[in-house]
Structure 1
């Protein structure tokens, strides 16, 4: 009974772990990015198209939580097949947990094509669709290295 309660408690954490890992938002920054200098350059949006952003991780917190839930549920099995039931339930639970978390971490996104005004270089950035970005508007490209966000310039509309 204790194992079942623990398994259910772990399963309740699944939605929290799915959203905690989101680093594709133009509005959300990680602690390593806070109070650090970000490069910013001005650009013009050439095109915006809708995309789906899905997790590409094979293993995640959902895997571990699902395996624990499955194993915990199988602890009640008695008899000759107890070990096999625990292994099977843990494996199935892990697979189900991965599928659930990957499904929960799916987001609506946008692929934004921007021409940097200084260099003329065209780049494409995919991010969560959490800021209104339109073709023809001026934007800032902010970030460092491989993490760059598209942020509309305030007061254009």
Structure 2
């Protein structure tokens, strides 16, 4: 019973860990980005295409939670085989937890090709698909380096 309660409590954390790691949205900012000056350049969208954004972390909370649940679930196995069963169940739980975590952390995104109006340079930026961005839109490229976002100028659609 204790293992079941522990596994349910730990499993409830999976969606939180998946969403906490999401920094791909043009609508969400980290605390380090608030109250700081962001670069903003005017751009024109040349092309938008759908992509899948998947977690690139090899070890995550799902692995740890799955391993703990698997290890703890082998209480009633014969004493002679208990350690081997715990190792096997922990490994299987870890693999299953990783698969679940990766499934939860996968989401739809867009790859946006934008021409900087001033310099003429073309940039490709991948971000969450949470803003309406179309080919031909005027947008702002905001941020710095790897934290640059494509933000549509309101009132175009």
Question: Same fold by TM-score, threshold 0.5 exceeded?
Answer: yes
Q: Provide the C-alpha distance between the structure 1 equivalents of 2:112 and 2:48, rounded to a whole number of angstroms.
A: 5
Q: Provide the C-alpha distance between the structure 1 equivalents of 2:123 and 2:70, rounded to a whole number of angstroms.
A: 45
Q: Which residue of structure 2 aligns with residue 10 of structure 1?
A: 10
> Is there any run of 5+ residues in structure 2 with no aligned partner, and where?
none
**Which whole-Å deviations, capped at 9, do the CAs of 1:57-100 have from their partners, x for residues lacking one?**
11111111111111111233232110011111111111111110
Q: Specify whether residues 75 and 144 from structure 1 end up closer, same or farther in structure 2 by C-alpha distance, changes over 3 A only.
A: farther
More displaced, 122-131 or 12-21? 12-21
The TM-score, its normalising length taken from structure 1, stands at 0.95
Q: Which residue of structure 2 aligns with residue 104 of structure 1?
A: 104
Q: Provide the C-alpha distance between the structure 1 equivalents of 2:30 and 2:90, rounded to a whole number of angstroms.
A: 33
Q: Which residue of structure 2 aligns with residue 79 of structure 1?
A: 79
Q: Specify whether residues 4 and 76 from structure 1 end up closer, same or farther in structure 2 by C-alpha distance, changes over 3 A only.
A: farther
Aligned-pair RMSD on alpha carbons?
Answer: 1.2
SS of the counterpart of 1:110?
strand
> Is there any run of 5+ residues in structure 1 with no aligned partner, and where?
none
Q: Provide the C-alpha distance between the structure 2 equivalents of 1:16 and 1:75, rounded to a whole number of angstroms.
A: 29
Say whether residues 1:131 and 2:102 are aligned partners.
no
> Aligned-pair distance for 1:20?
1.3
> Aligned-pair distance for 1:7?
2.1
> Aligned-pair distance for 1:16?
1.5
SS of the counterpart of 2:143?
strand
Q: Provide the C-alpha distance between the structure 1 equivalents of 2:92 and 2:76, rounded to a whole number of angstroms.
A: 16
Query: How many matched pairs?
Result: 157
Q: Which residue of structure 2 aligns with residue 64 of structure 1?
A: 64
The TM-score, its normalising length taken from structure 2, stands at 0.95
More displaced, 112-121 or 48-57? 48-57
Q: Provide the C-alpha distance between the structure 1 equivalents of 2:78 and 2:40, rounded to a whole number of angstroms.
A: 63
Q: Specify whether residues 59 and 108 from structure 1 end up closer, same or farther in structure 2 by C-alpha distance, changes over 3 A only.
A: same
8 Å Cα contact 1:7/1:73 also seen in 2: no
